[in-house]
Chains A and B, each alone.
Chain A
């Protein structure tokens, strides 16, 4: 190969690589007047980040996604009155100026903008949070997830890592409503100081969150770990709470822990159980070997007594085979009402072709509780009534089968 050809190929390669990196700009608006509805329908005050003025700050805040090598610029606009705010880029190992610790870099006061700049490092899972009176402001809700993908943005764990089909993300935290009162949240601050001494109450959380939701809210959100036999998925686990969390995957998922804190593990760990403590992140690959339903359990652990304070679950539904025939579920138009239900559950659906439909209720331990087969249905809308015989006070996974396998699943609750 001539020197000219080699140079040309190298230049093209460099150009190609360079062109895949980009300048990314994010706007995060810090607000302290957010509201969050809890699973018991109480509304609490939260602090948080939004991406437009008309948007309520979410808990967690917006997920920032980028590719390794991207030049990232975050504009933090603090529209909240009261204490200043910052963004700490947790795990990204940025320089001191961009680290978001008020007395070592800068803080952002009411109606000011603060700008953070960094080059996205190793592909992996990170997070951001306010570092002003951080015990209070993190509990208040000022946190969000950062995902750094490989330079080409592909579904690969890191450059040269594992390819995966689907990604799941579980961001773990807690809420103690006693901390969400004005007397705690609106703590004293002296704008001439960068270190704020703040009194904090006893931490005794009542709500244990996955992606900001707990208990009935999780069920209502229909958050399900759906996958297929032989499909490799990547799960990102992040803990910003003040409890430890023990995450237990069903053994049929064949979980492998492959990354932590934005770095590949030197030796992957084959384990169904992952412990993650405040500030830690883990990456877990799953590769189910059989069709099954089950659940991922999240046990929240007291850091002082090591006792489990609460458990949350995410249903797991493994049906079909990776690369197999996929059923078009978009046309099924499933409606469930009411959900939760007391006695009867109305199931409405629409068929584009006549076929036999059956229903199966499975509890979260994977046990089939009831099978219902109602024969053939014609093209068009149908409504059936189910659930009368189901035991009360339990959530179920409703699986709806057509002649070619599962059409759709949903989480339902019988009160």
Chain B
């Protein structure tokens, strides 16, 4: 037997549904400062650098931005430099473009959202991405809420000191001659990568671990895992590669790969670029892209 609808009950239900939806789609506000500075490399070499930081004080590690699926981020980008810079998100397909020019010592407000969880690259596209190469590139992480996942974040870069110095002075460089001599993850090289708790993979057997890898450098980095295979769960360049089980994963320049690892054995195992030249820093082995995973 059908029961007659009560208009009040229907209205309350509608309000409830609207509230439920609105609680998942919030506006997140954040601010980043585009700062000019000098990166102190692993051997104390000074490298002219740009970075997006969360204060106006320069830090070689770019700020990471976090939001949930369908959230809208309103991001204030403040250019503290005396040159014009810019802001963009690689492969961004939102309704409104986020590609923006930021005049010297001024700011812009951009807003964006993602319908799928994953990692995205924000960067300074100015001067054919020269400023991005010099450091101004970071990671946006779009997560599903309440997922029981251990997450680690790697922003990989490479630098040839002379290139940074020339670009810093406005001198053009010949990219066909590029040969980097410093390789970093989150601004650090071995042995300091292991001191970064966001980069160094730690956990226990059976944990679900996600490694978010973005390559905001110029070279391709071929990342090799010891001890485990990982499953590709995001590949911005090759979406068809999702699901592959790999121990060595190439990450192209300005592309994203997320690896899922569920460790099946305890131990301390290296992860490193298998272009073994990139395991050096200032031409010294092993001061490059090398860290270890520690699994209990």
Size range of the chain B interface in the assembly: 35 or more
What CA separation (Å) do A133 and B284 show in the bound complex? 10
Q: Is the CB of A278 within 8 A of B284?
A: no
Whether A377 sits at the interface, judged by CB under 8 Å, is no
Q: Is the CB of B292 within 8 A of A200?
A: no
Residues of A within 8 A of B25 (CB): none
Residues 176-210 of chain A, each 1 if its beta carbon lies under 8 Å from chain B, else 0: 00000000000000000001111111110000000
Q: A200-B283, A262-B247 are in contact. Are A304 and B224 (CB under 8 A)?
A: no
Whether B280 sits at the interface, judged by CB under 8 Å, is yes
A228-236, A264-272, A312-320: which lies at the interface: A264-272
Q: Is the CB of A203 within 8 A of B277?
A: yes
B227: nearest chain-A partner, CB-CB: A93
Q: Is the CB of B275 within 8 A of A278?
A: yes
Whether B250 sits at the interface, judged by CB under 8 Å, is yes
What CA separation (Å) do A93 and B276 show in the bound complex? 19
What CA separation (Å) do A91 and B265 show in the bound complex? 14
Residues of B within 8 A of A363 (CB): none
How far apart are B119's CB and chain A's nearest CB, in angstroms?
A: 20
Enumerate B173-222 residues with CB–CB distance to A below 8 Å. 175-180, 218-220, 222
Whether A40 sits at the interface, judged by CB under 8 Å, is no
How far apart are B260's CB and chain A's nearest CB, in angstroms?
A: 13
Residues of B within 8 A of A261 (CB): 229, 245-248
Q: Is the CB of B276 within 8 A of A95?
A: no
How far apart are A262's CB and chain B's nearest CB, in angstroms?
A: 7
Whether B228 sits at the interface, judged by CB under 8 Å, is yes
Q: Is the interface of A mostly helix, strand, loop or mixed?
A: loop
Q: Is the CB of B240 within 8 A of A95?
A: no
Whether B94 sits at the interface, judged by CB under 8 Å, is no
Enumerate A280-308 residues with CB–CB distance to B below 8 Å. 280-281, 303-307
Whether A263 sits at the interface, judged by CB under 8 Å, is yes
Q: Is the CB of A135 within 8 A of B247?
A: no
A70-78, A96-104, A211-219, A343-351: which lies at the interface: A96-104
Contact of A267 among B226, B229, B240, B285 (CB under 8 A): B240
Residues of B within 8 A of A202 (CB): 179, 283
Q: Is the CB of B284 within 8 A of A277?
A: no
Residues of B within 8 A of A305 (CB): 175-178
Q: A244-B220, A304-B158, A305-B176 are in contact. Are A99 and B226 (CB under 8 A)?
A: yes
Q: A93-B227, A93-B229 are in contact. Are A200 and B280 (CB under 8 A)?
A: yes
Whether A175 sits at the interface, judged by CB under 8 Å, is no
Q: Is the CB of B284 within 8 A of A104?
A: no
Q: Is the CB of A242 within 8 A of B277?
A: yes
Q: Is the CB of B224 within 8 A of A90?
A: yes
How far apart are A83's CB and chain B's nearest CB, in angstroms?
A: 12
B245: nearest chain-A partner, CB-CB: A263
Q: Is the CB of B284 within 8 A of A197?
A: yes
B273: nearest chain-A partner, CB-CB: A278
Whether B16 sits at the interface, judged by CB under 8 Å, is no
How far apart are B182's CB and chain A's nearest CB, in angstroms?
A: 12
Residues of A within 8 A of B278 (CB): 303
Whether A260 sits at the interface, judged by CB under 8 Å, is yes
Q: Is the CB of B179 within 8 A of A304?
A: yes
Whether B244 sits at the interface, judged by CB under 8 Å, is yes
Enumerate B62-85 residues with CB–CB distance to A below 8 Å. none
Whether B274 sits at the interface, judged by CB under 8 Å, is yes
Residues of B within 8 A of A266 (CB): 243-244
Residues of A within 8 A of B286 (CB): 133-135, 195, 197
Residues 264-296 of chain B, each 1 if its beta carbon lies under 8 Å from chain A, else 0: 011111100111111110011111000010000
Q: A104-B270, A278-B276 are in contact. Are A200 and B285 (CB under 8 A)?
A: yes
Residues of A within 8 A of B227 (CB): 93-96, 99
Contact of A279 among B222, B244, B270 (CB under 8 A): B222
Q: Is the CB of B220 within 8 A of A303?
A: yes
How far apart are B194's CB and chain A's nearest CB, in angstroms?
A: 12
What CA separation (Å) do A266 and B245 show in the bound complex? 8
Contact of A304 among B178, B276, B279 (CB under 8 A): B178
What CA separation (Å) do A203 and B288 show in the bound complex? 15
Whether A398 sits at the interface, judged by CB under 8 Å, is no
Q: A104-B292, A277-B248, A280-B222 are in contact. Are A199 and B284 (CB under 8 A)?
A: yes
Q: Is the CB of A138 within 8 A of B270?
A: no
How far apart are B245's CB and chain A's nearest CB, in angstroms?
A: 4
Q: A104-B269, A260-B244 are in contact. Are A135 and B280 (CB under 8 A)?
A: yes
What CA separation (Å) do A269 and B266 show in the bound complex? 34
How far apart are B249's CB and chain A's nearest CB, in angstroms?
A: 8
Contact of A199 among B158, B229, B283 (CB under 8 A): B283
B282: nearest chain-A partner, CB-CB: A199
Whether A237 sits at the interface, judged by CB under 8 Å, is no
Q: List 7 A-B contacts (CB under 8 A).
A: A93-B228, A93-B265, A96-B227, A96-B267, A200-B283, A261-B247, A266-B244
Additional A-B contacts beyond A96-B266, A101-B269 (7; CB < 8 A): A135-B280, A242-B276, A244-B222, A261-B246, A277-B220, A277-B250, A279-B222
4 nearest A-B residue pairs (beta carbon): A279-B274, A96-B267, A279-B248, A277-B222
Question: Which residues in B have some Cβ–Cβ distance to A below 8 Å?
Answer: 158, 175-180, 218-220, 222, 224, 226-229, 240, 243-248, 250, 265-270, 273-280, 283-287, 292
